[in-house]
């Protein structure tokens, strides 16, 4: 039995002892015992204060025997309650409970965040990238020991629960989230959560892992916006290391630089802001380590690489940049 259950059990026993004491003294004390006398006698006995009896019990052996038994019962109850509360505090469960409430409040305040379902190596890579690029996110994991292992490294917002359940995704704020990443142990789980997430939040972007390459079409039909196969990506990485090693080295250096955190990023053009300005007039050009790679015009499926400075930016165009999180903010 955990500390929290022991505290509740001790509280329940305490209430039962109080009720039995009041009833016992009232029934055995006789007509001269009022309800207030019974309550008073119960309280001073339970608290071991040791005040004198409110009514003389010398001529009432039944009530005196009950008082003796009740005293022993009270001592045991007090000892159990004190040990339970002490264990609850010493074991850190009170701290964990308060921290959990604080975390729940932080989760309730999240908006436009990302939800990561799972905690395998793929999920950990996703989590580390979200952390480095300063994105708001939380983790949903069904196995408590995996959460504790991750929390031992660094403190993350997380929910201990099965992501296949609607209530868990709702508590993760899926209706307010910007995207959800699924990296569960099987394609069946990823497929089921894809269906669930799409039904709960039609607007959300869903990116899921596919273990079996043949599952990708099913996941797209189920509502996933993108399906990633680690096996396919791994093969592409291996062949890239073989035929274009310098490009791979450049990208690795960009990803591993903890000081600059340079990434390929996308920035939508909004009003007021960059909309209505020419590429050469944009303030992003003033930032260090920032390179505009391409512009995707609104409604177009093509990209304009290395766009000219005279290009006019319109609302909902997308800028593709190599830059850091500070510039994005």
Q: Topology of domain 110-233, per CATH? A: Rossmann fold (3.40.50)
Report pLDDT digits (tens) over 110-165: 999 999 999 888 998 899 889 888 889 999 998 888 877 765 555 788 888 899 99
The whole-number average pLDDT for the span 78-83 is 77
Report pLDDT digits (tens) over 52-69: 666 666 667 777 777 778
DSSP string, 131-185: HHTT--EEEEES-HHHHHHHHHHS---EEES-TTSHHHHHHTTTTT-SEEEE--S
pLDDT of 5 over the 70 cut: yes
Report the side by side order of strands in the sheet with 137-141. 158-160, 137-141, 114-117, 179-182, 205-209, 226-228
Structural domain spans, the chain: 3-90, 110-233, 257-328
On the question of a cis peptide bond just before residue 272, with omega within 30 degrees of 0, the verdict is yes
Query: 37, 9, 24: which is closest to 70 by C-alpha?
Result: 24
CATH architecture of 3-90: Orthogonal Bundle (1.10)
Q: Class of the 257-328 domain?
A: alpha beta
Which range among 109-123, 147-161, 190-204, 217-231 shows the weakest confidence by mean pLDDT?
A: 147-161
How many C-beta neighbours within 10 Å does residue 215 have? 20
Q: What is the pTM of this model?
A: 0.59
């Amino acid at each position: 039995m955990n500390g929290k259950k022991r505290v509740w059990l001790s509280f329940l026993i305490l209430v039962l002892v109080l009720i039995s004491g009041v009833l016992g003294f009232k029934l055995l004390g006789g007509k001269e015992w009022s309800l207030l006398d019974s309550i008073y006698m119960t309280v001073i006995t339970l608290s071991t204060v040791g005040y004198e009896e409110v009514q003389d019990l010398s001529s009432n052996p039944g009530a005196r025997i009950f008082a003796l038994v009740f005293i022993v019962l009270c001592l045991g109850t007090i000892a159990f309650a004190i040990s339970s509360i002490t264990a609850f505090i010493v074991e850190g469960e009170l701290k964990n409970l308060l921290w959990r409430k604080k975390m729940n409040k932080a989760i309730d305040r999240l908006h436009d965040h990302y939800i990561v379902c799972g905690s395998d190596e793929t999920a950990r890579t996703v989590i580390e990238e979200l952390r480095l690029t300063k994105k708001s996110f939380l983790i949903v994991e069904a196995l408590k020991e995996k959460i504790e292992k991750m929390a031992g490294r660094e403190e993350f917002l997380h929910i201990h629960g099965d992501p296949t359940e609607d209530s868990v995704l709702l508590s993760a704020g899926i209706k307010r989230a910007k995207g959800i990443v699924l990296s569960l142990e099987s394609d069946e789980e990823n497929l089921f959560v894809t269906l669930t997430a799409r039904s709960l939040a039609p607007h959300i972007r869903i990116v899921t892992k596919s273990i079996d390459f043949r599952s990708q079409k099913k996941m797209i039909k189920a509502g996933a916006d993108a399906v990633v196969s680690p096996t396919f990506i791994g093969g592409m990485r291996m062949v890239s290391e073989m035929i274009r090693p310098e490009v791979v080295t450049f990208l690795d250096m960009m990803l591993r630089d903890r000081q600059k955190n340079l990434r390929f990023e996308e920035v939508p053009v909004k009003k007021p802001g960059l909309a209505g300005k020419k590429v050469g007039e944009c303030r992003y050009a003033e930032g260090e380590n920032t390179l505009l790679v391409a512009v995707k015009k609104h409604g177009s499926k093509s990209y304009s690489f290395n766009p000219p400075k005279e290009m006019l930016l319109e609302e909902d165009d997308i800028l593709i940049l190599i830059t850091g999180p500070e510039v994005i903010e």
